Each structure stands twice: as structure tokens, then as C-alpha cells.
């Protein structure tokens, strides 16, 4: 048996690694151990539950006011006894979080081979996104197997002198997760009905705009600009409704509640609450099934999230990206996504154009397989089965 330690710390990591964990478990050649750093505690647990996965180790590192130095040092120290006891053949990390970087570094220090899921994404600006761009570039130096989601990501790695034989183009495992939940919603009427009841406050006659904004580089004035843009749209238009699941980080929640209003419960009682402004609904973070349900129902998506860019584009939902640079240019190249930055008037004008110009909307509302076909996890499992650690 090939011993694999999977380390994850945030909700996006859990969503994108859950299909990999399931794929390794079903393959037959792997002994899989899951270690949660708990960089994001509650949202991590929610995501794992969707896929029926529980962590075998929990470092329990989350604390109020945690910063990047605390997370990095705590993951390094917390993984020391785990690596010593398990002596895994491979340690798998995903993406660009601080947990992923620190776990890869701990594995390297312990002479354990590192597999990097979602390798090769680049903006080539180490401060945008911050700290994710630096994290993923550092993991690339430490990794022994690079699972690139696209050919563009593979080419980035080749330009950094990563040997071609260490790179596999697999598709993005986030699309595997998306397909899994969509299938469950389509096959389980009770689950679908539950998701629908959570959003009875929505008006079937209004187009739904789904929003997410939480990235660290947007903290401060940029987050305020985003909030004012949302307020402008919600106040000026009666033909749309906006749903914004608000990240719990005080740097996000502070300006959101100051400019837009109180965050409300997104559970079954939410329909009794009044929207914050116009038809703008501010909710607590959603579980993944509820989020996918809303994503399917959305007219368009406004986000600074990398994973949401992929999910929305795969479903043919036009995406306005609240950033000046994206490490996922495939959606922009396919015409289904557009970077609009974080300046108030540009966000408002870009969203208004998408809402008012049917031809513009039609050009962007085309599903793309640029980010994967739902079989990335199978390819990763097979690559690990065929690749002895250290080769």
C-alpha cells in the first residue's frame, strides 16, 4: 500500500481535495490519512461533511486574530509528530493557502515526497493575490509531483524548469466536486427541496446575482469600494436580487455591515428577514450544497474567488472578477469571465452592462470545459500509483 497524507486547512482545500481523497480510497493501492490544520474551522468541517469525509488528525490551529506567521509556524510544528508517526510515502496539498505552503515545507524537511494539486497557476505578481501567489510558487519548488489543471498551468511550470516528467495535466478537482454535488441535487429530491426551502425569500421574477468577496489583498479601501458598488446596484435596480454570503473575517464583515447592513441567517427562517438594501441579501457563509444550488440558479456571478471563477464558468454563468489579475485566464480567454477590478464605478458599469445588454450576456453565458471534465481525481490517483516517491 502507498501511504498518502492529505493536509488541508480551508474550505476551498476541503472541496477540491475531497474528490481526490475519495478517488485514492477507491483505487485500492492507497492508505489515506487526512490531516486538518483547521486554518478555517467551521467552514472546513461543513465542506468535508458534504463528501462524507472526516479528518484523522486535527491540529486545531485556528485562533482569533491569527496571522500568516502564526499559521505557518503552527502548521510546521503541528505536522512534526504526524509525519514522524505515519512516515507517509506522499504528502498531498492543494492550491495556494498558507497551510499548503507550510505543509509542503514540513514534508520537505522530513524527506517526504510532495504532490501539489492545482499546480502551475500564476499571475507573476507575488503580491497579487497575496499571499497566494508566493505560496503556490514556493510549493512548486518543494513539490515532486505537479498536478496542473490546464495546459496553460503546465506551461508555467515548464518555464520555471520543472521537469516535464513530473507534471500531469489533470483538470481541476474543483470541477469533480461540482459535478458530484450537482448529481446529488438532481438525484435526491429531499436534498434539493431542502436547499430550495433555505432560499424561499428569493423572488422567482428577479434575476439572481451571486456574490463572493473575501480575499486578503482586498482588505481595507478595496473592500469598501466593492461594498459601495453593491449598494449602488441594489439601490438602483428593482429587476435583480443579490445574495452575498459574507466571510467571517472581521476585515470583510466590518465594512460589509457598516456599508451594507447586518448579516442575516441563511437558514430556513431567512425568508422572514428583510434584505439589507433593496434586494441585497447578506447571509452567513453557505454550506457547499447550498452554494452550488444558488450557483445553478444564478443569472451571473461577481467574485474575487478563484474556485468560484472555475465553477461559474463551467456552468455557463458569466463571471465578473473583482481583481485586476487572475491566475485562471482560461475563463477570460473563453469569453465567459472578465476582470473588473475593485473600483466602484467600474464594477457598477460592468455589471449594469451585463444586465442590460442581452447580446453581451449571451456571449458570456456559454459553459466551458476549460477547467476540467470531472475526472481530475482519477488521473491524480493513477499518476500517484504509477510514480514511486522520489522519482
Question: Residue 36 sits in a domain of what CATH number?
Answer: 3.40.50.2000
Whether 103 and 9 map to the same domain: the answer is: yes
Whether 242 and 337 map to the same domain: the answer is: yes
pLDDT, position 101: 98
Does residue 270 carry a pLDDT above 50? no
Cα(342)–Cα(346) distance, integer angstroms:
8
Whether 211 and 282 map to the same domain: the answer is: yes
Mean pLDDT of the chain: 93
Model confidence at 268, pLDDT cuts 50, 70, 90, reads: very low
- Could you report the per-residue pLDDT of 90-121, keeping only the tens digit for each? 999 999 999 999 999 999 999 999 999 999 99
Cα(288)–Cα(282) distance, integer angstroms:
17
pLDDT, position 33: 98
Q: Which residues of 15-50 are buried (b: 16+ CB within 10 A; e: fewer)?
A: bbbbbbbbbbeebeebebbbbbbbbbbebbbbbbeb
Whether 205 and 92 map to the same domain: the answer is: no
Does residue 267 carry a pLDDT above 50? no
Catalytic residue list? 96, 118, 132, 214, 216, 247
Q: Structurally, how many domains does the chain consist of?
A: 2
Q: Is residue 176 part of a domain?
A: no
Whether 247 and 160 map to the same domain: the answer is: no
Whether 322 and 288 map to the same domain: the answer is: yes
Whether 134 and 264 map to the same domain: the answer is: no
Model confidence at 271, pLDDT cuts 50, 70, 90, reads: very low
Quick check: 230 and 348 in contact, CB under 8 A? no
Whether 286 and 221 map to the same domain: the answer is: yes
Global pTM reads 0.93
Q: Smallest Cα–Cα separation from 360: which of 370, 369, 368, 350?
A: 350
Q: Which of 90-94, 132-136, 248-252, 339-343 has the lowest mean pLDDT?
A: 248-252
* Averaged pLDDT for residues 249-261: 93
Does residue 320 carry a pLDDT above 80? yes
Q: Is residue 122 part of a domain?
A: yes
Phi then psi for residue 310, to 5 deg, are -65, -45
Domain that holds residue 136: 2-171+375-386
Q: Is residue 290 part of a domain?
A: yes
pLDDT, position 40: 61
Does residue 391 carry a pLDDT above 70? no
Q: Is residue 182 part of a domain?
A: no
Q: Is residue 189 part of a domain?
A: no
Secondary structure class of 355 (helix, strand, coil)? helix
- Could you report the per-residue pLDDT of 289-315, keeping only the tens digit for each? 999 999 999 999 999 999 999 999 999
Amino acid at each position: 500500500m502507498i501511504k498518502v497524507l492529505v493536509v488541508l486547512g480551508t474550505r476551498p482545500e476541503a472541496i477540491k481535495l475531497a474528490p481526490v481523497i475519495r478517488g485514492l480510497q477507491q483505487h485500492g493501492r492507497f492508505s489515506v490519512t487526512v490531516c486538518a490544520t483547521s486554518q478555517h474551522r467551521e467552514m472546513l468541517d461543513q465542506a468535508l461533511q458534504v463528501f462524507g469525509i472526516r479528518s484523522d488528525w486535527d491540529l486545531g490551529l485556528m485562533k482569533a486574530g491569527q496571522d500568516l506567521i502564526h499559521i505557518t509556524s503552527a502548521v510546521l510544528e503541528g505536522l512534526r509528530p504526524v509525519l514522524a508517526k505515519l512516515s507517509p510515502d506522499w504528502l498531498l496539498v492543494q492550491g495556494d493557502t498558507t497551510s499548503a505552503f507550510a505543509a509542503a515545507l514540513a514534508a520537505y524537511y522530513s524527506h517526504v515526497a510532495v504532490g501539489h494539486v492545482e499546480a502551475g497557476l500564476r499571475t507573476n505578481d507575488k503580491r497579487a493575490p497575496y499571499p497566494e501567489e508566493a505560496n503556490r510558487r514556493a510549493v512548486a519548488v518543494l513539490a515532486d509531483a505537479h498536478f496542473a489543471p490546464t495546459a496553460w498551468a503546465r506551461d508555467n511550470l515548464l518555464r520555471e524548469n520543472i521537469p516535464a516528467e513530473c507534471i500531469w495535466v489533470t483538470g481541476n478537482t474543483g470541477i469533480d466536486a461540482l459535478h458530484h454535488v450537482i448529481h446529488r441535487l438532481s438525484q435526491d429530491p429531499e436534498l434539493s427541496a431542502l436547499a430550495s426551502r433555505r432560499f424561499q425569500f428569493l423572488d422567482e421574477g428577479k434575476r439572481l446575482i451571486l456574490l463572493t468577496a473575501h480575499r486578503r489583498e482586498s482588505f481595507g479601501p478595496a473592500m469598501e469600494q466593492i461594498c459601495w458598488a453593491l449598494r449602488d446596484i441594489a439601490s438602483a435596480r428593482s429587476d435583480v436580487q443579490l445574495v452575498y454570503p459574507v466571510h467571517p473575517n472581521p476585515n470583510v464583515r466590518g465594512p460589509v455591515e457598516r456599508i451594507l447592513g447586518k448579516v442575516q441567517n441563511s437558514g430556513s427562517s431567512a425568508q422572514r428577514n428583510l434584505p439589507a438594501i433593496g434586494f441585497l441579501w447578506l447571509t452567513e457563509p453557505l454550506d457547499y450544497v447550498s452554494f452550488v444550488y444558488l450557483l445553478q440558479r444564478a443569472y451571473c456571478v461577481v467574485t474575487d474567488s478563484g474556485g468560484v471563477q472555475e465553477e461559474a464558468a463551467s456552468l455557463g454563468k458569466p463571471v465578473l472578477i473583482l481583481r485586476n489579475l487572475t491566475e485562471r485566464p482560461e475563463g477570460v480567454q473563453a469569453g465567459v469571465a472578465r476582470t473588473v477590478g475593485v473600483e466602484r464605478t467600474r464594477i457598477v458599469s460592468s455589471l449594469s452592462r451585463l444586465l442590460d445588454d442581452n447580446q453581451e450576456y449571451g456571449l458570456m453565458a456559454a459553459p466551458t470545459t476549460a477547467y476540467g471534465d470531472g475526472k481530475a481525481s482519477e488521473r491524480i490517483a493513477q499518476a500517484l500509483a504509477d510514480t514511486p516517491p522520489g522519482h
